[in-house]
Amino acid sequence: MNKLLKLSIAGLALTGAASYGQIEINENLSISGFLDMSTVYTDFEEGDETAFNLDQVELDFLFDFDTITAQVDINYLGDNDSGDVDLEQAFLTYNFGEGSSISAGKFLSYHGWETAEPTGLYQYSYAYDLFPTIPGYHNGVSYDYSADWGSFGIALLDSAYSADGSLSEGEYEWGGELKLVLTPTEGLTLYFGYATDQGNDSVADVDLFNFWTSYEWDAHTVAFEYNILDTDGLEDEIKQWLLMYSIAATDTGTFTARISNEDAGVIDADKYTVAWIEALTDNLALVFEYSMSDIGEADVDTFAIEALLTF
Contact status, residue 32 vs residue 20, Cβ threshold 8 Å: yes
Average pLDDT, rounded, for the chain: 88
Q: What is the pLDDT of residues 6-56, one digit of tens each?
A: 333 343 334 333 345 688 889 999 999 999 999 999 998 778 899 999 999
Residue 10 pLDDT = 40
Neighbours of 16 (CB within 10 A): 18
| pTM confidence score | 0.89
**Residue bearing the bigger pLDDT, 66 or 169:** 66
DSSP 9: H
| Residue 146 clears pLDDT 60, i.e. is over it | yes
Q: Where in the chain are the domains?
A: 7-310
Sign of CA dihedral 136, 137, 142, 146: positive
Q: What is the pLDDT of residues 203-232, one digit of tens each?
A: 778 999 999 999 999 999 999 999 999 987
Residue 83 pLDDT = 62
- From residue 232, alpha-carbon distances to 64, 93, 123, 196, 236 in Å are 43, 35, 34, 12, 9
Q: What is the pLDDT of residues 75-119, one digit of tens each?
A: 998 765 566 788 999 999 999 999 999 999 999 999 999 999 999
Sign of CA dihedral 263, 264, 266, 272: negative
Contact status, residue 50 vs residue 287, Cβ threshold 8 Å: no
CATH number of 7-310: 2.40.160.10
CA atoms within 13 A on the CB side of 187: 9
Q: How confident is the model at residue 167 (pLDDT cuts 50, 70, 90)?
A: low
Burial readout 194-231 (b: 16 or more C-beta within 10 A, e: otherwise): bbbbbbeeebeebbbbbbbbbebeeeebebebbbebbb
